[in-house]
């Protein structure tokens, strides 16, 4: 990093699971640096969805470093997720054809439900002793023919409140786009509603977003929440994250019974 900025900059790790993010400071100026971010970052910056991209530079070893404007602010709290501001930004993201075209140019194809089920089926052998997992998978297969999506969008696919940054000037951003896909917007909407919004507030939140709570949308949201949760449980088992896995199993049981 010093090669790019010079020795006068103070560069420290920014945390995160990959270890590829840094904060650089010099004479009151502050940048957020990341190694090998997706080229997708440029269009996200242009649309005001992430903090402004300042520069992109390629290093001699082939790594690409991006620098973004550092913004003082805070991550959203769980109770913030019901706001009109969150719904409006997610609507803007899902309606952007520029984002879709950029991901297509990067080789992404729409994620289809049957492909998700086929992939999951291959991972289920070791779960024969867990009736809840089997029940969830049977439900997914039964509902599969009912899923309809007329318009695919760019989906963030990780609606955790920690990924929403509220700057001091009141501007809201959605960060950490490494898992972005072209998919049914119900992937994002469903996980956000099931995780953060009481059911009696769903219609109000969806009005902010610009959708009606139909039976079709309910089915799609629940379907994607169930399959995403199953994927999460598989990952948590692989990482031996027992406590988190038990929490995810409890969440899955709650969603299935809804």
Looking at the annotation, which residues are catalytic?
158
Burial bucket for residue 116 (CB in 10 Å: 0-12, 13-18, 19+)? buried
Residues 6+ positions from 180 with CB-CB distance below 8 Å: 38, 40, 103, 108, 154, 155, 156, 157
Beta strands in the chain (DSSP E): 10-13, 21-26, 29-35, 53-58, 64-69, 73-75, 153-155, 164-167, 172-174, 181-183
Q: What 3 state SS string does 110-154 have? A: CCCHHHHHHHHHCCCHHHCCCHHHHHHHHHHHHHHHHCCCCCCEE
Q: 31 with 69: CB under 8 angstroms? A: yes
Compute the Cα dihedral for 249, 220, 163, 13 and give only its sign.
positive
Residues in the chain: 258
Burial bucket for residue 73 (CB in 10 Å: 0-12, 13-18, 19+)? middle
- The number of angstroms, rounded, from the C-alpha of 143 to the middle of its chain's C-alpha atoms is 24
């Amino acid at each position: 990093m010093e090669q790019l900025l010079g020795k006068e900059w103070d560069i420290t790790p920014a945390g995160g699971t990959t270890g590829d993010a840094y904060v650089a400071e010099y004479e009151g100026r502050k940048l957020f640096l990341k190694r090998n971010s997706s080229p997708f970052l440029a269009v996200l910056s242009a649309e005001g969805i992430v903090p402004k991209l300042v520069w992109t530079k390629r290093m001699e070893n082939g790594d690409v470093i991006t620098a973004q404007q550092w913004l003082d602010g805070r991550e959203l709290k769980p109770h913030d997720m019901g706001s009109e501001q969150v719904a409006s930004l997610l609507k803007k993201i899902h309606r952007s054809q520029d984002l879709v075209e950029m991901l297509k140019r990067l080789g992404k194809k729409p994620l289809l439900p049957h492909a998700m089920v086929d992939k999951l089926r291959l991972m289920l052998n070791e779960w024969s002793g867990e009736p809840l997992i089997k029940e969830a998978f049977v439900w997914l297969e039964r509902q599969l023919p009912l899923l309809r999506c007329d318009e695919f969008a760019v989906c963030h696919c990780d609606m955790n409140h920690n990924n929403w940054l509220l700057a001091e000037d009141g501007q809201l951003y959605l960060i950490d786009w490494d898992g972005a896909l072209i998919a049914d917007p119900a992937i994002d909407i469903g996980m956000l509603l099931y995780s953060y919004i009481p059911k009696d507030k769903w219609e109000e939140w969806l009005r902010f977003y610009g959708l009606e709570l139909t039976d079709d949308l309910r089915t799609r949201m629940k379907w994607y929440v169930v399959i995403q949760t199953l994927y999460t449980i598989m990952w948590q088992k692989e990482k031996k994250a027992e406590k988190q896995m038990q929490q995810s199993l409890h969440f899955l049981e709650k969603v299935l019974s809804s």
